[in-house]
Each structure stands twice: as C-alpha cells, then as structure tokens.
Copies of this chain bind each other. A is one copy, B any other.
Amino acid sequence: MSFFFSNFFNKKNSAPVAKDRLQILLAHERSATSNQSDSDLIQKLQKEIMAVIQKHITIDQEKIQIKVDKGSACSTLEIDIEVPQQYK
C-alpha cells in the first residue's frame, strides 16, 4: 500500500477525538496493463462522494481537509471532516 496509508496509520496512537470526525480514504491501484486514461477515477468520485455526505451532514467548508495524490500506479484521496453534533 501507498505512503498515503502509512501516513494515516501513524495517527493511530493519537489522543481520543474531541469532536466527531468522518474520514474517507480512497485508493485506486492500477495494474501495469491498466489503461492510464482511466487514472482519474478518484477525481470523478471525489465530487460525488462529497455530495452524498452533504446529504447527511451540514459541512462547514473550513472543517474539511482534502488531500489528493495522483501517482502512476496508485491514486489516493483522503477526506477528513469535522462532523457537527447534529446531523441533518
């Protein structure tokens, strides 16, 4: 797995969360025979998944962190959202 996930894993010993959080990680691993023109699947999904989440949660745009890493063999997306106590 990618450096992305190893980075994420390093958070495992952090203190308990003070606020509710929703974290979403997507990884698209492509084989050597993959069609490289399909490498933007993650980016296609990002917008639509955010729309799905916003159906359930009123998101403060300042409380979202998005990281995208588009590599030749593996593209990753990390979304970290501070969730309000009251959902929609």
Q: Which residues of A contact B (CB under 8 A)?
A: 1-2, 5-6, 8-9, 11-12, 14, 16-35, 38, 41, 44-45, 48-49, 52-53, 55-57, 73, 83, 85-87
A34 to B84, CA, bound (A): 9
Taking a contact as CB atoms closer than 8 A, the residue among B6, B11, B28 that contacts A20 in the complex is B28
When distances are taken between beta carbons in the complex, the residues of chain B under 8 Å from A20 are 28-31, 34, 38
Distance of A55 Cα from B48 Cα, bound (Å): 10
CA distance A22 to B45 in the complex (A): 11
Query: Does the CB pair A5–B12 fall under 8 Å?
Result: yes
Q: Are A9 and B1 in contact (CB under 8 A)?
A: yes
Do residues A1 and B11 form an inter-chain contact, with CB atoms below 8 A?
A: yes
